[in-house]
């Protein structure tokens, strides 16, 4: 179960839980948005998450946050609210703003990136074509698999790496995730390739 549309506020996540979450759902993925300090922490306290992903930190909402440091601190609320013993923070090591802020929570961290080798998951051999993107994913233990997706853009490689990290945390293998990644549909009118 995933939050729909732009339901990334406390009210939106609450509404999704109340209206759409059913007893047969095993996993709930919540997008967490923020316009001020404490917003993400409130959503985290509501959903009681075990895993948290930070994909990127930019200067969105700088007019309300006032400083980039406040944005970094607010985005890291997702890490600070994870359970210390079995929580897992999944972090994009290529993002300077993520890496320049040190969360105090000692929970385990899983790093992904495309530029360096000293991470848990790394994408290499990234190639773009009119039909999508292909790349190799290599794990810290040396295991690697080839992936293809209809999605275009380097940012989608990062997003897939984060999703693969969650899959690995849930006991899946890279090999098991090759076909699901291949089947991901592009968002309408967002870097879609032309079928003609």
CATH superfamily of 1-113: Mur-like, catalytic domain (3.40.1190.10)
**Given a cut of 90, is residue 13 above it in pLDDT?**
no
As a whole number, mean pLDDT of residues 123-151 equals 95
Per-residue pLDDT, 4: 56
Q: Are 148 and 157 in contact (CB under 8 A)?
A: no
- pTM over 0.75? The answer is yes
CATH tag for 114-196 (out of 3.40.1190.10, 3.30.50.10, 3.40.50.300, 3.40.1440.10): 3.40.1190.10
**Given a cut of 50, is residue 196 above it in pLDDT?**
no
As a whole number, mean pLDDT of residues 130-155 equals 95
Q: Are 33 and 3 in contact (CB under 8 A)?
A: no
Fold match between 1-113 and 114-196?
yes
**Given a cut of 80, is residue 9 above it in pLDDT?**
no
Q: Which residue has the tokens 């790394």?
A: 122
Rounded to the nearest integer, the mean pLDDT of the chain is 89
Name the nearest CA neighbour of 77 among 122, 113, 46: 46
Of 127 and 1, the one with more pLDDT: 127
Radius of gyration of the chain (CA): 17
Q: Could you tell me the pLDDT band of residue 155, with boundaries at 50, 70 and 90?
A: very high
φ, ψ (nearest 5 deg) of residue 43: -65, -40
Question: What is the spatial distance between Cα 125 and Cα 25, in angstroms, rounded to a whole number?
Answer: 36
* 76: number of Cβ within 10 Å: 24
Q: Are 36 and 65 in contact (CB under 8 A)?
A: yes
As a whole number, mean pLDDT of residues 136-145 equals 96
Q: Which residues partner with 133 through β-bridges?
A: 128, 149
**Given a cut of 80, is residue 194 above it in pLDDT?**
no
Q: Are 151 and 133 in contact (CB under 8 A)?
A: yes
Domain ranges of the chain: 1-113, 114-196
pLDDT per residue as tens digits for the range 165-175? 999 999 999 99
Per-residue pLDDT, 126: 97
As a whole number, mean pLDDT of residues 185-196 equals 60
Nearby residues of 151 by Cβ (< 8 Å), 6 or more positions away: 132, 133, 160, 184, 186, 191
């Amino acid at each position: 179960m995933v939050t729909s549309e732009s339901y990334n506020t406390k009210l939106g996540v609450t509404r999704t839980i109340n209206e759409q979450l059913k007893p047969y759902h095993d996993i709930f993925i919540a997008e967490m948005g923020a316009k001020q300090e404490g917003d993400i922490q409130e959503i985290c306290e509501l959903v009681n998450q075990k895993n948290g992903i930070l994909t990127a930190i930019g200067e969105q909402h700088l007019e309300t946050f006032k400083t980039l440091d406040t944005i970094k601190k607010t985005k890291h609320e997702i890490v600070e609210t994870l359970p210390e013993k079995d929580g897992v923070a999944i972090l994009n090591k290529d993002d300077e703003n993520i890496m320049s802020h040190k969360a105090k929570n000692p929970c385990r961290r899983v790093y992904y990136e495309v530029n360096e080798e000293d991470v848990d998951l790394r994408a290499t051999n990234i190639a773009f074509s009119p039909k999508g993107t292909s790349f190799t994913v290599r794990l810290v233990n040396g295991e690697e698999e080839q992936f293809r997706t209809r999605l275009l853009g380097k940012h989608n490689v990062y997003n897939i790496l984060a999703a693969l990290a969650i899959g690995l945390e849930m006991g899946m293998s890279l090999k098991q995730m090759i076909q699901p990644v291949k089947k991901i549909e592009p968002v309408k009118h967002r870097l879609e390739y032309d079928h003609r």
